[in-house]
A and B are shown apart, each in its own frame.
Chain A
């Protein structure tokens, strides 16, 4: 197991290096440059390029950047001139992560429950209700979901704050807006795989042993049926925790989301690179965690390290 994890970590670092290199070249191929503005003159542009080292050759810039990266320094943003990329991420990530964790907890708890309830009531009214919720969740885009929540709970009924992120009450609507799609997806996955499990031999065995219905569902069925959910959860955690552009904008949450989009439209080279590296590292890490979790949840695919 340890050997496997080490190998995976090594591979992850290589992946990150390749990713960084590709993005380093790609950002420079984008049309425009960080300094173009309505009022840019060639002389001022020359000053800017010298200041950010963009007047040097690309390999030279690359070596400088990689060297700084090894020291954990992502450089200064070219748009937010006084802020380092490290700092921008450190300031914004806690908001995105907080929102993402809440959304995930909401999505997984309700998604799994809905899926299980639906599968146990297959073909009945309750199943139909669960399916409708799942369809709504997958087909309504998050910004519409967010606007509807804002309108009804915030403006119309005045139950919850419409925007910002300053207290627990403020987190409820955006968490639901972010988590709803995931909830729908999880419930559908869960329902499908539960239906398979329900007819399996070990379920029959468990029934034959005379175990209670609850015990069978919780101990035998959910445990087995949850695997597909865990599989999608890895990349999902990475994407949900690192910020959502639309919902964060809608609820005025100072998270990371906007930087993915704006850094590119601003041609903010350092910020684009920093965000990519951060997101890439997070995604790779989450996939690793999922691989390890597989082994914990399902002994059948536990890595054979023990025997060897």
Chain B
């Protein structure tokens, strides 16, 4: 008799435990928590940490083609972009806080007020050679010095093996810098 009763009771207890594990003791409260968590996740990944897929070779070898990354918008709430930062640059002027769908991934080499040029493939800032450990492949670019305005930054990709006409680089306004690459 004992044996025949313990089977259904055990199954019932197990089902109850599973139910509690899945939807909690109070399903309404669990639903509210799940909705709040989902909304927080959507807001966080839409506004603060933007998931991006790198498309192209201009940031190789640091960032491979088709690799995955995040653009973190939070650091530049505390400080301005720094030299060497890899940043997401939006293509069209910003409208509010809305994130763009497409960005250029570039490295900051020139800061506001500086003069930036390429001489025999090396970046010179105010005439002085910039140490770039991330640039692995040499190039032969030469450009005239560009003087940056008070809110302008000079950005360029790490991979400069192509002719400079085929590489998108130059100065950009601070408002177009979306955030810093996380990885």
* A and B: bona fide binding partners: no
Seen from chain B, the residues whose Cβ lies within 8 Å of a Cβ on chain A are none
Q: Which residues does A use to contact B, with CB under 8 Å? A: none
